[in-house]
Amino acid sequence: MTEHRTAMVTGAASGIGLGCARRLTADGLRVAAVDVDAEHLANIAEEVASTHVCDVSDADSVRSTVDAIAATLGDVDVLVNCAGVVGPNVPVWEVPPDEWERTLSVNLTGIFLTTRAVIDGMRRRGWGRIVNIASIAGKEGNPNMAAYSASKAGVIGLTKSVGKEVAADGVIVNAIAPAVIATPMNTDTAPEVLDYMIARIPMGRLGQIDEVAEMVSWLSSDRCSFSTAAVYDLSGGRATY
């Protein structure tokens, strides 16, 4: 059945998104890799069914991308929202308003826009899976990362709300809340911030992209059938709830 399904993975040019795109391709799905980074998308074009340059924070860009995917691969059955930015690493009183807006626009509004663009079709067909990458920061709040933490808390709330709205429609919506993962996005994270986050992980290490992709694989499949509007811990024991 998976070979007849289409998955849209945002933030797919690198990091968690790329890992998820590769894993879902290996699972037999037709994967549309979506990212704002055209250069890095070009580098993975042969690994996936199609690539699409898209700004997830722009409604028109999202709509045209979803239409293009439908025209070439079929309607989106699985949506994996990985696109995200770290945002400013400073105390809240030093956060520039434009950086606050950008962080929420990509991390939270982007998920709203992609979800809104595909969920009606999933409901009509009676089957769909949406997986949102949140963060442990959305549960606990990381100091000097107010914009990021707030955006990921919003992802958790959005996931729970939407999951309940479509629970009887055959559409399953869940989130994953990782602790810090070894990704290119974290190469620019201040060393003291990384040290702080790793120190709070009982396993004492970074999470790995393949570990996230493994959970995404299950949440995107028929194997996940009675769990929705949930947030899955992937934090090496850091999670407190």
Angle, helices 15-26/209-219, rounded to nearest 10 degrees: 50
Residue 131 contacts residue 220 (beta carbons within 8 Å): yes
Amino acid type, 35:
D
User: Given the structure tokens 């968690």, which residue do they identify?
Assistant: 16
**Distance of alpha carbon 40 from the chain centroid:** 18
Catalytic residue at 241? no
CA distance 48 to 50: 6
The secondary structure element, H or E, covering residue 32 is strand 30-35
Nearest C-alpha neighbor of 77 from the set 123, 23, 15, 136: 123
In the set 148, 196, 232, 241, the catalytic residue is 148
Residues in the chain: 241
Q: What amino acid positions are annotated as catalytic residues? A: 148
